[in-house]
Amino acid sequence: MDSIEVPAKGELTLFQNNYPHRNYSIDVAVEEFTCLCPMTGQPDYAKFQITYIPDEILVELKSLKLYLQTFRDRGITHEDATNEIYDKLLVNLKPRELTVKGIFNIRGGMSTTVELSYHQGRD
């Protein structure tokens, strides 16, 4: 197997889907997402569920993990973080379908869930 080049910080490593003729979904569960609240500077913790039906391109998981870690020291809202991740995956993967769901832990008695979906040919 050829080695996969380590991407620059925040860049995704992409590779060819060997089964583009099939509709199959890929679920990625991210259990330890962290960013900073832009109002208080306090850490926000979340779980992300990323599900996509690939077309021609797949994402290498270690590069996805490293990309998500770039949020660790950033002050960013839940909505902006989820939308930014969604945009990055949509542009790079060009999937048939994509859902990104950020489930942010309870702070101040409230939890937040932000979900975006794309369906090729319907959006």
Q: Is 65 helix (H, G, I), strand (E, B) or coil?
A: helix
Nearest alpha carbon to residue 58 among 31, 10, 25? 25
Mean pLDDT of 2-14: 70
Architecture of domain 14-107: 2-Layer Sandwich (3.30)
Q: pTM here?
A: 0.90
pLDDT in tens, 64-83: 999 999 999 999 999 999 99
SS3 state of residue 60: coil
- At 42 the three-state DSSP class reads coil
Q: Is 104 helix (H, G, I), strand (E, B) or coil?
A: strand
pLDDT at position 8 is 66
Counting every residue, how long is the chain? Answer: 123
Residue 6 confidence (pLDDT): 52
Catalytic residue list = 37, 44
For residue 1, pLDDT beyond 50: no
Q: Considering just the CA atoms, what is the radius of gyration of the chain in Å?
A: 15
DSSP structure string for 4-57 = PPPPPTTPPPEEE-S-TTS---EEEEEEEEEEE-TTT--EEEEEEEEEEE-SSE
